[in-house]
Amino acid sequence: MSEQFQPTGVFEPTEHPHRRLNVLTGDWVLVSPHRAKRPWQGQVEAADEQQLPAYDAHCYLCPSNHRVSGEQNPQYQGPFVFQNDFAALNQQTPAHHSNVDDLLVLQAEQGLSRVICYSPDHSKTLPELALPEIVQVIKLWTAQYQELGQSHRWVQIFENKGAINGCSNPHPHGQIWASHGVPTLPAREDDKQRQYYQQHQRNLLQSYVALELQDRSRIVDENADWLVVVPYWASWPFETLLLPKMAVQRLEQLTEAQQLSLAEILQALTSRYDNLFQCSFPYSMGWHAAPYAIPSVSAAAAKSVSAAATDNDISHWLLHAHFYPPLLRSASVKKFMVGYEMLAETQRDMTPEQAAERLRALSSRHYKTSGENLAQSSTESCR
């Protein structure tokens, strides 16, 4: 006979399992804070202790070097963008759409992929750049949105930082993929923001910013224009969401002052990340801006685009950036999205409020320049 358990006591979110709704996607996240106490005897990653040179003659991304394609990089002095030599999307893809019994559905996708080098310095990641250099990266992101938004409905700017997170080259760089269709996750965000706006007559993320500014338990950093929080529905251990305090839907709308304040908070956040375990903290990050007016597409492709996706009203959108770092306990222990996460729903081992408290307590000055010993313990440092 199965044993029956009856709930007892008072619910405490820092001790008891519970689920939180991601209002941007509609997905639920299982939070199991008591599991953070379990011993770890699983895989330990090799700590990245490389001391990189400012220039690497064998790097495909360094100035003046030749890439695999044979193309030679210019002797660039600031951020540099070029067409990806191994592009995931192609402008020459023929238009095609097929559907067999609503079971075998295929749609050709056209687009392009680019690489953006943040700096000619091979050794410096984003938090180690000077503020004017980060501003130049933001300006190039903005220029890419302005250009590619003329002919593509979705422009995805992102960065995979660190070999543990799939980065194939240590030179500080990100990527830009532009497509005629809106990919799955931003399409969900578009739908959820639109639904909230229609139901409540106010912007979802602007309302969320106001709530977080009032609650403050999940705030990591803020300045006059920007807010960084561990979102209430965070999946990854030290996931953060970067949000504007003003009503902007795209990077192109930022003033020069807002670009500078964005550079400041990007530097502060990524420095806090590196300071957590005193290592070059890996993450995947990316901007989500409002989709652009749908470009000219074939009649077949247009059939797969929802009515909402063709609506050019973007008042329901708020520009934001997601940061998804994989590290959990130390520089060498990461969170694995396997098992229950693959087959049921995402699960995390500490509350977002606990994660925000740890990040907030760290210095916003990078440990390499501050001269401080910021490691939480010798076992948590990768040095």
**In the predicted model, what is the mean pLDDT of the chain?**
87
Query: Looking at the domain assignment, is residue 25 inside a domain?
Result: no
Q: Could you tell me which of 216, 210, 140, 152 has the C-alpha nearest to residue 179?
A: 152
Query: What is the mean predicted confidence (pLDDT) over 327-348?
Result: 83
Q: Which residue pairs from 189-194 have beta carbons closer than 8 angstroms and sit at least 24 positions apart in sequence?
A: 189/24, 189/25, 189/288, 190/291, 190/308, 190/309, 190/316, 190/317, 191/308, 192/23, 192/24, 192/25, 192/26, 193/24, 193/316, 193/317, 193/318, 194/308, 194/311, 194/316
Query: Looking at the domain assignment, is residue 10 inside a domain?
Result: no
**What sign for the dihedral angle of Cα 337, 341, 345, 350?**
negative
Query: What is the mean predicted confidence (pLDDT) over 129-155?
Result: 97
Least confident stretch, 242-246, 293-297, 340-344: 293-297
User: Which pTM does this prediction carry?
Assistant: 0.89
Least confident stretch, 51-60, 217-226, 253-262: 51-60
Supply the pLDDT for residue 16.
87
Residue 295 has pLDDT above 60, yes or no: no
Q: Catalytic residue numbers?
A: 173
Residue range(s) defining the domain that contains residue 256: 80-370
Query: Looking at the domain assignment, is residue 2 inside a domain?
Result: no
CATH of the domain at 351: 3.30.428.10
Which positions ≥6 away from 76 have C-beta within 8 Å?
Answer: 63, 117, 120
Supply the pLDDT for residue 66.
95
Report how many domains make up the chain. Answer: 1
Supply the pLDDT for residue 227.
98
Residue 5 has pLDDT above 80, yes or no: no
Supply the pLDDT for residue 296.
53
Q: Could you tell me which of 242, 311, 319 has the C-alpha nearest to residue 273?
A: 242
**Per residue in 183-225, pLDDT tens?**
999 999 999 999 999 999 999 999 999 999 999 999 999 999 9
Query: Looking at the domain assignment, is residue 153 inside a domain?
Result: yes
- 226 or 348: which carries more pLDDT confidence? 226
Q: Name the DSSP class of 148.
A: H
Residue 127 has pLDDT above 90, yes or no: yes
Query: Looking at the domain assignment, is residue 358 inside a domain?
Result: yes
Query: Looking at the domain assignment, is residue 50 inside a domain?
Result: no
Residue 308 has pLDDT above 60, yes or no: no
Supply the pLDDT for residue 39.
45
Supply the pLDDT for residue 12.
86
Supply the pLDDT for residue 372.
56
Supply the pLDDT for residue 48.
56
Least confident stretch, 78-92, 138-152, 260-274, 294-308: 294-308
**Per residue in 29-42, pLDDT tens?**
999 986 655 443 44
Percent residues over pLDDT 70 in the chain:
85
The gap from C-alpha 383 to its chain's centroid, in whole angstroms, comes to 26
**What sign for the dihedral angle of Cα 254, 61, 284, 52?**
negative
**208-240 burial string, b = 16+ CB within 10 Å, else e?**
bbeebeeeeebbbbbeebbbbbbbbbbbbbbbb
Supply the pLDDT for residue 8.
72
Residue 71 has pLDDT above 90, yes or no: yes
Supply the pLDDT for residue 298.
44
Residue 373 has pLDDT above 80, yes or no: no
Residue 376 has pLDDT above 50, yes or no: no
Distance CA 248, CA 253 (A): 6
Give strand pairing partners of 372: none
Query: Looking at the domain assignment, is residue 166 inside a domain?
Result: yes
